[in-house]
A and B are shown apart, each in its own frame.
Chain A
Amino acid sequence: MAVNTNDKIITVKNLIKKFGDFTANDNLTFDVYRGEIFGFLGANGAGKTTAMKILCGLSKPTSGEISVAGFDVYKQTEKIKKNIGYMSQKFSLYEDMTVKENIRFYAGIYGLKRSYIKEKTAELLDRLRMNDYANTLIASIPLGWKQKLAFSIAIFHNPKIVFLDEPTGGVDPITRRQFWDMIYEAAHNGITVFVTTHYMDEAEYCDRVTIMVDGRIDALDTPDNLKKEYKAENMDQVFVKLARNIE
């Protein structure tokens, strides 16, 4: 997909985050362009979650200049939250509420009008072919459906950016691919997608990928260029080469 490199939706300059003497994010600098699928990879403990929390307005950096959707991460965190969507594998939907209740709940939090919610909910259930399950508790629908629904809810308020934290963990390979179809569609409709994953084949679906190692960004490029640079056949090899280097 053609991405305009002049149209930056996230800019990060010299981001540093320290917890006591521990530096979780060590001078990160990168931009994310509007409408791109941006893969954020790294080993466990590399600092991905810390950086993502800052970009979502949930945590303040120690220093650095960071803007998300045109808003400052120090002073305008509420505005950031209104303009982004977020979905993680661990926290997504309320198990003891129905499909419809979950949609209404999240849409309500974002301050959407009731008539709008009603109309969009019908549309969404149609598209997901979940009409018959509108009044079913989340606890009793399959995991793959939950993830598709959670993603649809995360972009229900039409955010500028959606953050996906390991969205496809544990689902079967067919559902995993259907989920990526939804990601492509969202990007196609102009939503910027910021995604973390442990599946290295999914890294290849991203427009650009960064790999964090030990709190730093060691590589940032298209999957093709990274493979060339590290003389690797696939992203898995790129990842292993980068992550093993530090030991």
Chain B
Amino acid sequence: MIKETNISNLSEEIVRVENLSKSYEKGKVKALKDISFSINKGELFGFIGPDGTGKTTLFRILTTLLLSDTGTATLNNLDIVKDYKKLRKILGYMPGRFSLYQDLSIEENLNFFATVFGTTIEENYDLIKDIYIQIEPFKKRLAGKLSGGMKQKLALSCALIHKPTILILDEPTTGVDAVSRKEFWEMLKRLKEKGITILVSTPYMDEASMCDRIALMQSGKILSIDTPVNTIKSFEEELYSVSSRDIYRLKNDLKEYENTSSVFLFGQNLHYTSKQENTNIDELKDYLIGNNHEEIKIEKIEPNIEDCFMRLMEN
């Protein structure tokens, strides 16, 4: 069972998911395994995990595009099966694959989506202004001819044009460079301030800190749900950053070391945990010196989300 923590009684629940399961190929591939969680109104909630974890399946079920095998879900008190028509009107959805009309221009795409939802660009211009203004100079250009970053901004504008209550974004930052990714998260923060509840999935662990709460997912299951800060607090072992001149040899030597519990490469350092309750630094240093390592640095550090994720994966 997943324990929910840190949900204030004052906050209003807007998404409730209970025991959702989904399998493909006659039960051979289990995409979602008994998933339960709830999300509060106005939250920016992140689903973080690698490809093939079930994030897209979950989002397709919540957006009424796919039926689950078992379980129930309500969004804004609307049931995903019984009330699917009403639900579609209040959801904004940006699928992982670019799904706008490539042979329509930016402006035509936006107009099309506004019309489908019985509204106009003018009516909700305020909501999309921040984002749309960046691509408006190119509004006559065909969507198929846009760069990745521009496509992403257009897709978000189209998902917002009917002023949805809940916005569901499936890996909006995948394949997008580090700078554009930061800009995209800034846009999401501004949308959240306007009261929109946002569900977003990502394979990038470093984006966790941008969310109010995160669900770490792996193999169709939720490993943990909490705020980024509490997720990091739940990492109980002492974590050390270790480096020396030859990092690759250092990693192999540490893997051989009898006291090692885990060792992972992080940029030009290794993140190291010991089997000992209190890590004996002197002993560790002696071992490395004995293996002819030079410029040894050992420093206690705070874990990041990727450390937590790998720890949960191993358990």
Residues of chain A having any CB pair with chain B under 8 Å: 1, 42-46, 140, 142-144, 166, 169-175, 177, 180, 184, 198-201, 204-205, 223-224, 234-236, 239-240, 243-244
Contacts and interface: CB of A to CB of B under 8 A. Distances in A.
Contact of A175 (B50, B148, B175, B248): B50
Nearest to B148: A44
B175 A177 contact: no
B95 interface: no
Given A180-B265, A201-B266, A170 B50 contact: yes
Interface in B45-82: 49-52
Interface of B, secondary structure class, is mixed
Contacts of A144: 50
Contacts of B50: 143-144, 170-173, 175
B179 A173 contact: no
B218 interface: yes
Contacts of B180: 43-44
B132 interface: no
Contacts of B234: none
B189 interface: no
B149 A174 contact: no
Interface in B5-54: 29, 49-52
A170 B176 CA distance: 12
A176 to B, nearest CB: 8
Contacts of A184: 248
Max count, chain A CB within 10 A of own CB: residue among B50, B175, B266:
B50
A152 B293 CA distance: 31
B306 interface: yes
Contact of B177 (A44, A175, A180): A44
Contact of A45 (B52, B147, B313): B147
Nearest to B269: A204
Given A201-B267, A205-B265, A172 B218 contact: yes
Given A171-B50, A173-B205, A236 B178 contact: yes
A200 B178 contact: yes
A117 B125 CA distance: 61
Given A173-B205, A175-B50, A44 B265 contact: no
A11 to B, nearest CB: 27
A169 B51 CA distance: 9
Contacts of A234: 267
B311 to A, nearest CB: 10
Interface of B: 29, 49-52, 147-149, 174-180, 182, 203-205, 218, 248, 264-268, 306, 309-310, 313-314
A172 B175 contact: no
Contacts, number: 83
A175 B53 CA distance: 14
Across the A-B interface, the 6 shortest Cβ-Cβ residue pairs: A170-B51, A204-B267, A172-B50, A43-B177, A44-B148, A243-B179
Contacts of B178: 43, 198, 200, 236, 239-240, 243
Given A173-B205, A177-B265, A42 B177 contact: yes
A198 B176 contact: yes
A142 B51 CA distance: 9
Nearest to B251: A181
A42 B176 CA distance: 11
A242 to B, nearest CB: 9
A173 B306 contact: yes
A44 B306 contact: no
Given A43-B180, A198-B176, A239-B179, 15 more contacts: A44-B147, A45-B149, A143-B50, A144-B50, A169-B174, A169-B175, A170-B51, A173-B50, A173-B306, A174-B264, A174-B310, A184-B248, A224-B268, A240-B179, A243-B177
A198 B180 CA distance: 11
Contacts of A200: 178
Contacts of A243: 177-179
Contacts of A239: 177-179
Contacts of B148: 44-45
28 contacts: A42-B177, A43-B178, A43-B180, A44-B175, A44-B177, A140-B29, A143-B51, A144-B50, A169-B51, A169-B175, A170-B51, A171-B51, A172-B218, A174-B264, A174-B310, A174-B313, A177-B265, A198-B177, A198-B178, A201-B266, A201-B267, A205-B267, A223-B267, A234-B267, A235-B267, A239-B179, A240-B178, A243-B179
A140 B174 CA distance: 23
Contacts of A204: 267-268
B54 to A, nearest CB: 13
A172 B314 CA distance: 12
